[in-house]
């Protein structure tokens, strides 16, 4: 629910669906999760290899694909995306939704990018997005936000809240979400917290890691409408890199 209600999750769907459709060969999505992108891509006729460390998320992805009638177009691999191995080199590897941020050190991020390079065929691409931590975004993340209101299968009303602890010098984010389940009178019946540690890279660091791995950078966009990146106007950093032929 937290991912589905994020603004960037809504914004990036069309961008990645278009990238998957244009790929001339095998498409691999790292951190495929519940299939939010992969299943719509499969509905459009694209076969996708999805990699995820969570069996629970892969089960949700299978369920979503089965309901959409496209399970035969998905190959799901239970693996850490730092160590995945492909039988056939990919034409496109995608790492959507700021998922590079799950690795907390530059060394781990660099090793991942080098490993991705090894799994892409010559001429293939790697696409990923990462936070662009502007003062406005930092201020927004530090606020307490009511992200969603919904009802459980048992009929209880639930409020979903989120806030983040942002450490700018360390480039780290501690996301805290909580669900307030309400009783019949609107009082708090139950509260459950979840916490997630993330980090981000500066654009100069992303560029350096890509080139050090051997990639040629084709584009860096400042939003999912493919606006060329500008320090003054960008809201995201979205990288498109190619393995030389």
Task: Identify the CATH number of the domain in which residue 51 sits.
Answer: 3.40.50.150
Q: Are residues 194 and 205 in the same domain?
A: no
* Predicted pLDDT of residue 55: 96
Q: How far is 115 from 71, CA to CA, in rounded Å?
A: 27
* Predicted pLDDT of residue 94: 98
Q: Are residues 104 and 224 in the same domain?
A: yes
Judge whether 2 lies within some domain.
Answer: no
Helix (H, G, I), strand (E, B) or coil at 185: coil
Provide the domain limits for residue 167.
135-199
Query: Structural domain tally of the chain?
Result: 2
* Predicted pLDDT of residue 215: 98
Q: Which segments of the chain have a pLDDT < 50?
A: 2
Q: Are residues 12 and 114 in the same domain?
A: yes
* Predicted pLDDT of residue 9: 62
* Predicted pLDDT of residue 20: 98
Q: Are residues 54 and 122 in the same domain?
A: yes
Q: Are residues 153 and 98 in the same domain?
A: no
Q: Are residues 77 and 167 in the same domain?
A: no
Q: How far is 19 from 131, CA to CA, in rounded Å?
A: 20
Q: How far is 243 from 95, CA to CA, in rounded Å?
A: 16
Q: Are residues 109 and 213 in the same domain?
A: yes
Strands in 188-199's sheet, in edge-to-edge order, are: 145-151, 157-167, 172-182, 188-199
pTM for the structure as a whole: 0.91
Total H helices, total E strands in the chain:
6, 11
* Predicted pLDDT of residue 85: 95
Judge whether 172 lies within some domain.
Answer: yes
Q: Are residues 178 and 238 in the same domain?
A: no
Q: Are residues 124 and 141 in the same domain?
A: no
Q: In 10 A of CB 105, how many CB atoms?
A: 9
Q: Are residues 188 and 217 in the same domain?
A: no
Judge whether 35 lies within some domain.
Answer: yes
Q: Are residues 28 and 98 in the same domain?
A: yes
* Predicted pLDDT of residue 11: 81
* Predicted pLDDT of residue 130: 97
* Predicted pLDDT of residue 231: 92
Q: Are residues 37 and 100 in the same domain?
A: yes
């Amino acid at each position: 629910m937290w991912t589905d209600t994020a603004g960037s999750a809504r914004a990036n769907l069309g961008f990645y669906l278009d990238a998957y459709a244009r790929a001339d060969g095998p498409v691999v999505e790292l951190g495929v999760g519940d299939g939010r992108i992969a299943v719509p891509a499969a509905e459009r006729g694209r076969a996708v290899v999805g990699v995820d460390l969570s069996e629970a998320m892969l089960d949700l992805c299978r369920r979503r694909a089965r309901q959409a009638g496209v399970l035969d177009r998905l190959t799901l691999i239970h693996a850490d995306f730092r160590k995945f191995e492909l039988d056939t080199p990919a034409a496109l590897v995608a790492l959507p939704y700021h998922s590079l941020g799950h690795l907390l050190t530059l060394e781990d991020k660099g090793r991942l990018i080098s490993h991705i390079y090894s799994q892409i065929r010559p001429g293939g691409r790697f696409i990923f997005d990462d936070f662009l931590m502007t003062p406005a975004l930092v201020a927004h993340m530090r606020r307490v936000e009511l992200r969603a209101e919904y009802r459980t299968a048992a009929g209880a009303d639930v409020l979903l809240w989120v806030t983040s602890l942002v450490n700018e010098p360390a480039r780290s984010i501690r996301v805290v979400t909580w669900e307030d389940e309400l009783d019949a009178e609107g009082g708090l019946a139950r509260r459950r917290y979840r916490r997630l540690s993330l980090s981000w890279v500066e654009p100069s660091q992303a560029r350096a890691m890509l080139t050090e791995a051997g990639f040629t950078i084709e584009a860096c966009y400042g939003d999912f409408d493919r606006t060329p990146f500008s320090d003054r106007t960008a809201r995201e950093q979205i990288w498109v890199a190619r393995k030389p032929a």
